[in-house]
Every structure is written in structure tokens, then in C-alpha cells.
Chains A and B, each alone.
Chain A
């Protein structure tokens, strides 16, 4: 009996090809799994069973001719990517009834490759948050311990893969939103170089920072998904032609001779001891397989959070202004004038964290403050990128923890936004500099919660970090979450 929780893209594709299971049966098995687990896990906001079964039925020819590894593979998509005819809520009340008439490019490309979408995944509202607790719809629980947060904002994406509810998912990452939940849930999360994957159809949070990326069980799966979704899209002016055709190329090559660095700031006292020790063990493993690891310094690491929150809030305040109750989305029932319509719809429709960021961003852009905040943050951005570029002159990749802690209890960080923001310290600078980064599991702490290690590469250096991550995985297989029955 096939244990679908253990399936990867490669093993599932093989099973389909060998007709060990039919595409429709495979999809049905996943829906069964979702039925059994999702009341507890809460990863899904909506399911599209009928459409999925139809898609599965059509996948056979692509499976048979071997033209796509993704044919018939069950996946799910974070609910901030537009899917034609399927509700797309962004985890918010304000888009609770929004059904887009078009599909995001990244999702279309997966569809063209034959992948089957099971449903849309839970997230922090408008991708703002680090625990998925800011969703208007439901809480998502960490499959390793259901009292804990799965991380965020792509909490549903990570929890679904970790609990075997989908073979892979798509998440989005603005300040760590793919990598941090991947770390908390013990799966692989990749944020590509800015511009690699089209943002057309990704509901914008911070335009200059957002990227779509895969959440998978293995590193190789991550490369396979990236192959399908990457590439210039004429509908996104910021998407570029990277010139890279195959992200799996060289993934199996020996890592001997690669040079890695570890900034001292990344293993400082602010990091939980067990996280530090697991990452240090990973560094020792790299050394043992021939990767040279050296200590270095990222002086500006500390400034990244401030720059990130100013830039992202400012852009978000503008991107979210379109939610006004006029063209789509939530409209208040209580209004006597246009002004009321705007204010009431937005105030009733948005949650607290979103309002907080809109207020911050509006302030940072407002007359008299623009130079001091937004413009200043953009200058600091230049400095941060320059600092990374210098490191990459010498090193192939940077190692560090993805997050300073492992997953924490649901409800613990409520009421303390600044503290939550500080948890992003290792991930935000990557978005600021537009670099690629991947989080891979590197052990469990004494509470049985996953620890994540982040590898950061130079711009368009995905293949390097995939190769390094894959080498680590080959010597340290990633565990999967036990059957969900604990923590209830």
C-alpha cells in the first residue's frame, strides 16, 4: 500500500508512469488524506475536487509520453495567487468572495505541465505575518506539534507538504514567507532571485520584494518545480530572462571545492541554542564533504529589518489601496456617502496587522517623511546589496539559520508586533537584495520541532545553492512529520 505521505515528485511520477496507480486514484487518495487531517491542520481554505479530478483524467497522455515530470502530480497553491473561476481570498475578509477571471502565470505554467491543483492554501492576510495566525479564515497548525504555529505567511503551503496533503505547493516570499514556514514545518522552501518567476496574478504585497517559489519535500523536487514556473513573462515588466534553462542541471555534482561563509551575526546570542547547534552541525557536515566554510561578517544585518519594514509597508499601503468596495471584494452595508463606503469597507474588511502596515507605510510615504523613511530605506538597500555582492566575490553561498527559533505556540506572539518582526532577521535581507535562498531541514530540537538552515546564493545562483542543499540532503535525509494525532 502506497504511503502517499512519502511521495515526492520523482517517486510519484515514476509510480504513475509504471501505472502502479492511476492519476485519478492518486488525486482521490490525496483528498482522502485532506479529509482525515485538515480539520486539525487547517492548511486549506478551499478545495476544487471536481476540477482536480477532471485535470487528473486529462493527465494520462502527458504521463505516458514522459514529456512532463509534473503530469498528474497533486499540488496546491497559496491563496494569494489568482486562479480563474476559483475563489482567491488572500486570507482576508476583504476578498472573501473574489473569483478572479484569470489565472496567475506561475499557476498556469504548472497547469500546462500537467500538475493538478487540489485547492487553495491558508496564509496570513495579504501575506503579512510570520505565523498564519493573521488569516481571517482559520488557524493552520504545525503538523509536527499541532499546538504550534506552522510559520507564515505561507503556513498552509508548508503544513500541507509536511503532512502529506500535497506533494508540493507554491508559496510566496516577501520577507521570508516561504523559507520560515518551511523551516518550522521541516520541508524545503525556495525563494528564487527576484524577477525569476512572474508576479502576474500574485496579489501584490510589496512589489519590489515579492517572489513566488516552491515548497517541497526534497531539494530536487524544488528544482523541478522551479523549471516549470521560472522564465520571462511579458505580462510582468520586472520578470527577466535569466538564460537558465534547467535548474536541475548539476544538482548531483560533487560539492568538493565549494566555498561557504557564515556571518557571525547569524550565530549570535539572539539565536536559540538548539537552532545554533543544529546549524553548526550542518556546517561540520559540509566541511566533512569538502566544502570550505569560513566565518565572515555582515555588518548591515541589523539594519535590514528596519529597511525591510519601511519599504514593504510603503509599497503595501499603495498596493492595498485598490480594496475599496467598488470593483470587487467586500463592501460594508453601512454607508451614507462615498467616504463612508471607503472607510467602512476597508476598516471592516482588513485585519489588524494589515491595518498596522498600511498605517506605517502611509506615514513613511507622507509629505515630510518620504526622505527620512522611504528614500533612506532605499539607500540602505543599496548598501545591503553591495555588502552581499562583495561576499559573493569570494564565496559561493552563505549558511545560517532560517529563523532564530523553532515553531512557537499559537497565540504566544500576539500583541507584540515588533517582536514578531524581529523574527525575520535572517530572511528579510535576502529579499532586500533580491537574492535566491533555500531553507532545508537540518534536524529536530529536543521538543521534536524542525530546525531550518538557510543557504543564500548570488543573484541567479539557484543552481549553486540547489547543488549545495542537495549534497547536504544526501547525507542527512529529511524526516517526515508523524501521523497527526498529537497536540489536540
Chain B
């Protein structure tokens, strides 16, 4: 029997506003326990929420970037439940009138482009964090994260494989970074996904019983969790058992999920409209303004890179995968760099350096790369030195020109000087000379390497190549 896997994702994203959604406390990550708090976000008696304007703007823009319609009228609601990380014992969220509805995001699959529907996007507040007491005597509660603004993006159950689920999540993340509403730093928890999954016989249009795995915070775990759960459900069904509707906890280290059945009475959240906040009305003209203010989306840039700029599709898709590399590339080209050259440097050197320290941040902008390339093109430094300089730029954030002059890395083109070095190297390496004279042209390479060594890599390769060949050829004639 062939089975179809049906997956929907709920993605929670922390918005990158400076202050929290209902009070002025900072949203900065980290910070000593309970030092980003005030009476409002710790729910002291008598306190009241006041809505942050930027949260509405960011939520609307995120929705527009995902092709949603933004509601002219929306409101906040209370979702009531008891848990220590929720100080008011209710979360202010949106129930029946969310800010955005009905959008889609396209992903690439083997079968071509696939459209994944977005059911809705709503605004809500994040809860605090529970920490485990090292003495094992209890659980500790930190409210710093309480009140950090979130949007929850709910997809239609349109994904049919673990890969599609992961690709969708990656695409959403990329879009949000492009729009600039979240840094999406998954290791800081600013993007988390819940995977809802069920299986059914291929061809059936009745949904199977689904399970939910919550708070996955890496693409790898989204993929593995989905894959594992699909397998688990299929195995159950094939052995005649039924899938239980439940929430499961995914343990990425163990590669397995566990039932959280003990938590499993269906919650009665008793949603009702938040009486302490007034409704949010967004006019059509404001929605238009938001739409116009959206930066160029990844697919738009892809078109431009492959079209206007003539970059291969593979390169373009790698560069547009992150808004930071795309912005970097655009700036470099704008500052005069050759698109193909810039693209090569980004895909090669830059991405390697970023991967080494596992960062998404680039400590300088594309204009600096353009300047570096100019130095190379004008032969002030050679390509290899260029790579060294680039790594130094990445490490220190200093400009190429500064590094070259500080370290004296200019290409040495002084023929007189080089002549002397070439003479020296030839003298010191009789074997190579002999090899060359015996017909091994490759020996030149070795000699060049030695000259480079002597000149600490700064020799102008064309010049020394010429000098070496001249001198050796002259010896031939002897």
C-alpha cells in the first residue's frame, strides 16, 4: 500500500522590534534573568497592555510578502491557560480576526514549483522561559522573553514530504529576513516550528489522524522529525493499530519522538476579545504603503540576477537564499564589481568564511568587495593575496586598501628587484633548472613558487613568469 504524507506547519517567529509588544522593555536576546522586565510583562496587579505600532506594521508586511490579504479590521483576544511561563495566565493573541489571511509561498520541488498555502498569520506575545534548577529542587522562571512580539504563520496542510516541509520553512525564513521583520536566528529561538502530520492511503481524500510535534528550532530537526513521524505512523497503521491524536516531543539527539500524553486533555482556552485593548484598523491606503515599502523579494532578485546580470541559476539561487548575501552582492555590483566575479567570491571565499564561524553576518558591505576586486584587476595585488586580504577583511572588518598598505601586500612589480630574486632562486634550485632544460616545462611552476615564497607572495606573477622563462631560455641557448 502506498501512503501519502500530509504535513502542515505552524511557525512562530519573533519580530525584531526594539521593545516588547505591550510594554517598553527591550527585546534583546540574552541578558541576566529577569532584567528585561517591568510590572506589565510580569503581570503585576493593575497593569495594562499597550500595543506596539511596529508589531502591526511588521506583521502586515510579513503577510504581504507571503501574498496574504491584510485585514482592515482585526482585534486581539485572550487565550486562557495556566503555566508558569505565562504570568497573566492568559496569552494575548488573535483568535477569529487575525491580521492576515489567505496567502501562499512557492517552493522548488523535483516536480517543479509547488505552491504552499498560508491559512493565516496572527500576532501574539511570547511567554517566558523555564530553566531547570541545577539542585533539582524545582523549576526556575525567567520572564525576560515574556511579551516579545511573535507572529504565528499557519500553513495549509499542503506539504507531502519532510523535504517539502523543510524547504517551506527555509523559504519562509528567507522571506522574513528579506522583509526585515525578524533576524530569524534559530539558535536564539527566534523561529520555531510545530509540525502537524498525518498519513493516508494514496488516492484517499480523507485526512488521517494527525499528531503534533512542537518547538522544533532547526531545519534539520524539522526534516528528521517529519520523516520519523511519517514512518512511525505508517508502521502503526500497517500493524493494524490506530494513530492516536496527540502532541509528541521530538528529541533531535536521539532521533526519536515521545508521546506527551500526560499533558493531553484538550485545552479549553476560553477565548474572548481582549477588553484592555482596542481594535486595529488598517486602511487600504496604509496597506498599499506597506506593500510599496517591501524590498525586492528573493524570487524577484533571482530573476534580475539571472536575467539582467547574466549570473547562472545555481549561483543566483545560492546568493538569494539569504538576504544578507543578496544585499552584499547587490551593493558590490552597484559599486562597480563584475557580477560574475562578485558571485564567485561570494560563493567561494565568503560563504566558506561564514560557515567556518557559523554566522550569517558579514562585517562589511559589498562595496568593500568591489574595492578589493579593483585592487586585483588593477594588478596592485594578485589573486592569492586577494584571498588573504579578504579573509582579513572578514576577520577585522577593515577595508581592503587599509589591510594591503598596513601589511605591505602590494604586488611587487619592480623588475629590478624581481630580477635579483629570480636570479637567486635559479641559482639555488639547479635541479629544477635542469628539469626545465630537459623539457619539463612544469618546473617553471616550482621556480615561480619559490620566487613567490621569497617575495612573500607579492611578486607580480606575469612579470616573474616572464623573467624566469627568459633567463632559462637564455640558458638553453648556452
- Taking the complex as a whole, does A directly touch B, i.e. does some CB pair lie under 8 Å apart? yes
Given known A365-B270, A366-B268, A366-B270, contact A98–B278 (CB-CB < 8 A): no
Given known A342-B82, A365-B270, A366-B270, contact A207–B276 (CB-CB < 8 A): yes
Interface centre among A81, A98, A100 (most CB of B within 10 A): A100
Task: From B51, B78, B84, B275, give the contact of A326 (CB < 8 A).
Answer: B84
Q: How far is the CA of A213 from the CA of B229 in the complex (A)?
A: 59
B186 sits at the interface (CB 8 A): no
CB distance from A212 to the nearest CB of B (A): 11
Residue of A with least CB distance to B269 = A367
Q: Mark A200-219, 1 if CB is under 8 A from B, else 0.
A: 11111011100000000000
By the criterion CB–CB under 8 Å, are A322 and B48 in contact?
Answer: no
Residues in B35-93 with C-beta less than 8 Å from chain A:
39, 42-51, 78, 80, 82, 84, 87-90
Task: From B39, B51, B272, give the contact of A237 (CB < 8 A).
Answer: B51
B403 sits at the interface (CB 8 A): no
CB distance from A196 to the nearest CB of B (A): 15
Given known A81-B46, A82-B46, A236-B48, contact A324–B272 (CB-CB < 8 A): no
Q: Mark A266-310, 1 if CB is under 8 A from B, else 0.
A: 000000000000000000000000000000000000000000000
By the criterion CB–CB under 8 Å, are A370 and B272 in contact?
Answer: yes
Given known A200-B47, A321-B80, A321-B90, contact A327–B275 (CB-CB < 8 A): no
Residues in A409-429 with C-beta less than 8 Å from chain B:
none
By the criterion CB–CB under 8 Å, are A237 and B276 in contact?
Answer: yes
Q: How far is the CA of A101 from the CA of B38 in the complex (A)?
A: 10
Residue of A with least CB distance to B89 = A321
Q: How far is the CA of A95 from the CA of B89 in the complex (A)?
A: 17
By the criterion CB–CB under 8 Å, are A90 and B272 in contact?
Answer: no
B463 sits at the interface (CB 8 A): no
Residues of chain B within 8 A (CB-CB) of A234 are: 50
By the criterion CB–CB under 8 Å, are B46 and A207 in contact?
Answer: no
Q: How far is the CA of A95 from the CA of B139 in the complex (A)?
A: 23
Q: Mark B163-201, 1 if CB is under 8 A from A, else 0.
A: 000000000000000000000000000000000000000
By the criterion CB–CB under 8 Å, are A321 and B82 in contact?
Answer: yes
Residues of chain B within 8 A (CB-CB) of A80 are: 46
By the criterion CB–CB under 8 Å, are B50 and A318 in contact?
Answer: no
CB distance from B455 to the nearest CB of A (A): 68
By the criterion CB–CB under 8 Å, are A324 and B276 in contact?
Answer: no
B351 sits at the interface (CB 8 A): no
Q: How far is the CA of A234 from the CA of B49 in the complex (A)?
A: 10
CB distance from A258 to the nearest CB of B (A): 33
B141 sits at the interface (CB 8 A): yes
By the criterion CB–CB under 8 Å, are A324 and B48 in contact?
Answer: no
Residue of B with least CB distance to A236 = B48
Residues of chain B within 8 A (CB-CB) of A207 are: 275-276
CB distance from B271 to the nearest CB of A (A): 8
By the criterion CB–CB under 8 Å, are A318 and B270 in contact?
Answer: yes
Residues of chain A within 8 A (CB-CB) of B50 are: 234-237
Q: Mark A382-415, 1 if CB is under 8 A from B, else 0.
A: 0000000000000000000000000000000000
Residues of chain A within 8 A (CB-CB) of B276 are: 204, 207, 237-238
B107 sits at the interface (CB 8 A): no
Q: How far is the CA of A199 from the CA of B276 in the complex (A)?
A: 10
Residue of B with least CB distance to A199 = B48
By the criterion CB–CB under 8 Å, are A95 and B45 in contact?
Answer: yes
Interface centre among B43, B48, B50, B89 (most CB of A within 10 A): B48
By the criterion CB–CB under 8 Å, are A327 and B89 in contact?
Answer: no
Q: Mark A359-375, 1 if CB is under 8 A from B, else 0.
A: 00010011100100010
Residues of chain A within 8 A (CB-CB) of B87 are: 322, 326-327
By the criterion CB–CB under 8 Å, are B39 and A101 in contact?
Answer: yes
A118 sits at the interface (CB 8 A): no
Q: How far is the CA of A207 from the CA of B87 in the complex (A)?
A: 18
Q: How far is the CA of A203 from the CA of B45 in the complex (A)?
A: 5
B443 sits at the interface (CB 8 A): no
Residues of chain B within 8 A (CB-CB) of A90 are: 45
Residues of chain A within 8 A (CB-CB) of B275 are: 206-208, 238, 315
Q: Mark A330-365, 1 if CB is under 8 A from B, else 0.
A: 000000001000100000000000000000001001
A104 sits at the interface (CB 8 A): yes
B277 sits at the interface (CB 8 A): yes
Q: How far is the CA of A314 from the CA of B274 in the complex (A)?
A: 12
Residue of A with least CB distance to B23 = A235
Given known A201-B46, A236-B48, contact A338–B277 (CB-CB < 8 A): no
By the criterion CB–CB under 8 Å, are B46 and A318 in contact?
Answer: no
Given known A365-B272, A366-B270, A370-B272, contact A202–B46 (CB-CB < 8 A): yes
Given known A238-B276, A362-B270, contact A322–B46 (CB-CB < 8 A): no
Q: How far is the CA of A60 from the CA of B419 in the complex (A)?
A: 95
CB distance from A209 to the nearest CB of B (A): 9
By the criterion CB–CB under 8 Å, are A318 and B268 in contact?
Answer: no
A248 sits at the interface (CB 8 A): no
By the criterion CB–CB under 8 Å, are B43 and A327 in contact?
Answer: yes
Residues of chain B within 8 A (CB-CB) of A82 are: 44-46
Residues in A234-251 with C-beta less than 8 Å from chain B:
234-238
Q: List 3 A-B pairs, minimum CB-CB distance, nearest first.
A: A321-B89, A207-B275, A365-B270
Known: A203-B45, A238-B275. 6 other contacts (CB 8 A): A88-B45, A98-B45, A204-B45, A204-B46, A237-B276, A326-B87
